[in-house]
């Protein structure tokens, strides 16, 4: 039914239907589950190998993650983001190390407070 006087969100509530996004998500999840369960499905061969982990974790991975070793990955933004994050972590560790050294120097020379290293 068409509701020209209502916005999209208001029409969804008035007609008691799910949004297009929610319906697409439900259909995609159902299709993926069907592909995973049915080994004779046309698209089943396109799935990565199953993860054979014996660990019981909260969120288990059912498929092995691909290892990215291509030149395109090395030039991509994901690789740059990983490099940026590792550089930021190195800087944070360096700052933390210098802070620990400063605190231990102050503690040794001035005995102001007791510093406990928990690392």
Q: Are residues 42 and 1 in the same domain?
A: yes
Buried b (16+ CB within 10 A) or exposed e, 49-85: eeeeeeeeeeeeeeeeeeeeeeeeeeeeeeeeeeeee
Q: How many domains does the chain have?
A: 2
HSE-CB of 57 using CA atoms within 13 angstroms: 9
Query: Does residue 51 form part of some domain?
Result: no
Task: Tell me what pLDDT residue 86 has.
Answer: 63
26 pLDDT band, cuts 50/70/90, is very high
Query: Does residue 89 form part of some domain?
Result: yes
Question: How far apart are alpha carbons 53 and 67 in whole angstroms?
Answer: 17
Over residues 20-49, mean pLDDT: 90
Whole-model pTM: value is 0.47
Highest average pLDDT, of 34-38, 75-79, 81-85, 107-111, comes from 34-38
pLDDT(32) > 70: yes
Phi and psi of 79, rounded to 5°?
-65, -40
Structure tokens at 63: 């498929």
Task: Tell me what pLDDT residue 1 has.
Answer: 76
Query: Does residue 58 form part of some domain?
Result: no
Range of the domain at 30: 1-46
Distance of CA 63 to the CA centre of its chain: 15
Collapse the DSSP code of 59 into the 3-class scheme (helix H, G, I; strand E, B; otherwise coil) and give the result.
Answer: coil
In the chain the first and final C-alpha atoms are separated, in Å, by: 63
Query: Does residue 85 form part of some domain?
Result: yes
pLDDT(68) > 70: no
Query: Does residue 54 form part of some domain?
Result: no
Question: Are 3 and 14 spatial neighbours (Cβ–Cβ below 8 Å)?
Answer: yes
């Amino acid at each position: 039914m068409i509701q020209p006087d209502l916005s999209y969100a208001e029409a969804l509530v008035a007609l008691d239907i799910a949004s297009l996004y929610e319906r697409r998500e439900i259909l995609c999840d159902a299709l993926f589950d069907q592909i995973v369960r049915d080994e004779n499905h046309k698209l089943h061969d396109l799935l990565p190998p199953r993860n054979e982990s014996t660990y019981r974790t909260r969120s288990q991975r059912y498929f092995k993650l691909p290892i990215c070793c291509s030149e395109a990955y090395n030039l991509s933004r994901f690789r740059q983001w990983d490099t940026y994050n590792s550089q930021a972590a190195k800087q944070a560790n360096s700052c933390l190390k210098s802070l620990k050294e400063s605190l231990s120097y102050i503690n040794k020379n001035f005995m102001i407070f007791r510093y406990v290293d928990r690392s």
